[in-house]
Structure 1
Amino acid sequence: MNAVLTAIAAVKLVILLLGGAITYIAFRAYRHTNSPSLRVLGVGFGIITFGAFLSGIANQFFAVSLAVGVLANSVFVAAGLAVIMYSLYIQQ
């Protein structure tokens, strides 16, 4: 089971790095273009990234069960995807 937990931690780290980079690039693009859809897109990716980070921390350091961590992560992913979908819908 230790190998699985290590793999989960490694994947969560990759998600944190990639999600943080995408969020940063989206916000940088927003500042450059002042496009509300890019701002909302960054928020959506930020929510997804934060959910992965939070569920990983909860599982590793606060003895939250893997099932509860997956549920929490899924809620953040669903919310983030809803925000991303909204960002694609926004009219300028």
Structure 2
Amino acid sequence: MTHVTTILVALKTITLALGGLITFFAYRAYQRTAAQALGALALGFAFITLGALLAGAAHQAFNMDTDVVLVIESTLTAAGFGIIVYSLYAE
């Protein structure tokens, strides 16, 4: 494993942990309040976190091409941010 790969794995792990915590807390807030906006916020962060997880798995476990990995991560990140934007305008 190269130094760059080690750093990338560490950063993806941190992203997964922090994204998972944000998703968890947003979901708990949604459960307490039943506010649709908080549910959408949790879903948006879940998409972003899932993108990081799937991209890392595709790269490390399946040795997929970097371009494909970036498309996977970027697609889920864009969808997640779209859902988060929606959550900011939901009633």
Instruction: Give the shorter-chain TM-score range.
Output: over 0.9
Any gaps of 5 or more consecutive residues in structure 1?
none
CA deviations 1:19-68 (Å, max 9, x no partner) are: 00000000000111110000010000000000100000000010102222
What's the secondary structure of 2:41's corresponding residue? helix
| Local SS of the residue matching 2:63 | coil
For 2:54 and 2:61, the matched residues in 1 are separated by 10
TM-score by length of 2: 0.95
Unaligned stretches of 5+ residues in structure 2: none
Q: Secondary structure at the match of 2:64?
A: coil
Please report the TM-score for the alignment, with normalisation by the length of structure 1: 0.94
Does structure 1 residue 26 correspond to structure 2 residue 26?
yes
Q: Counterpart amino acid of 1:36?
A: Q
The alignment-based identity, stated in percent, is: 43
**Aligned letter for 1:37?**
A
Structure 1 stretches of at least 4 aligned residues deviating more than 4 Å after TM superposition: none
Number of residue pairs matched by the alignment: 91
1:11-90 to 2 correspondence within 5 Å?
Answer: 11-90=11-90
| Matched position secondary structure for 1:63 | coil
- When the two chains are superposed, the root-mean-square deviation of aligned CA atoms in Å is 1.1
Structure 2 Cα separation of the partners of residues 72 and 31 of structure 1: 30
Quote the offset at 1:70 in angstroms: 1.5
Q: 1:3 maps to what in 2?
A: 3
